[in-house]
Structure 1
């Protein structure tokens, strides 16, 4: 581990249940534009990883955010970065590779 910051994880199934129960404030997908075009979790906020630092003003510090990418590696880095800035975050383990819920085309 390159950091001693422990990031909480959440499974795609847990994310799906929370969406269905209306208990999810924010999902941030850090994949690239072409990846999003193939399908994304409905209602996500799309901020590619490379744009995250420049777009912090779009992220509400009072809410919890679930970070998502293809496999959970980039979203893990994004979660570490945001946690270091004082945001409440969880990383969706397994990423979109493990997502079985609805998809929306962007």
Structure 2
């Protein structure tokens, strides 16, 4: 299995605070995101990623987010196999210290 690029929650927070435009995708379930998402993230549930591939662009890098980093790793492997550029946010929302909305 190919290695998945990773970004820590702290690195991501720094980039967002610096005003970097990043494509964030939260793959958690509806009730999980109701408790708060990183501002600017798009919510596409893990189970619906295959039918939503047309919403992704192969030239863009996406940062995948879940609760602890496990599901988003699986999504990253799947999407990487389909030819997309992805990065996993390690530690997930459990480690996220930044703002949520």
**TM-score of the superposed pair, with normalisation by structure 1:** 0.92
Give 1:101's aligned residue: 98
Residue 33 of structure 1: how far off its partner (Å): 0.5
Q: Which runs of 5+ in 1 are unaligned?
A: none
Is 1:7 the counterpart of 2:1? The answer is no
Is 1:66 the counterpart of 2:56? The answer is no
SS for the counterpart of 2:54 is: helix
Give 2:32's aligned residue: 35
Rounded Cα–Cα distance in structure 2 between residues aligned with 1:33 and 1:61: 26
Rounded Cα–Cα distance in structure 2 between residues aligned with 1:49 and 1:26: 16
Rounded Cα–Cα distance in structure 1 between residues aligned with 2:85 and 2:18: 20
Give 1:45's aligned residue: 42
Listed one character per residue, the Cα deviations across residues 43-98 of structure 1 (whole Å, up to 9, x for unaligned) are 00110000000001111221111000000000000001111111111100000000
Residue 34 of structure 1: how far off its partner (Å): 0.4
**TM-score of the superposed pair, with normalisation by structure 2:** 0.96
Matched length: 101
8 A contact 1:49–1:74 mirrored in 2: yes
SS for the counterpart of 2:3 is: coil
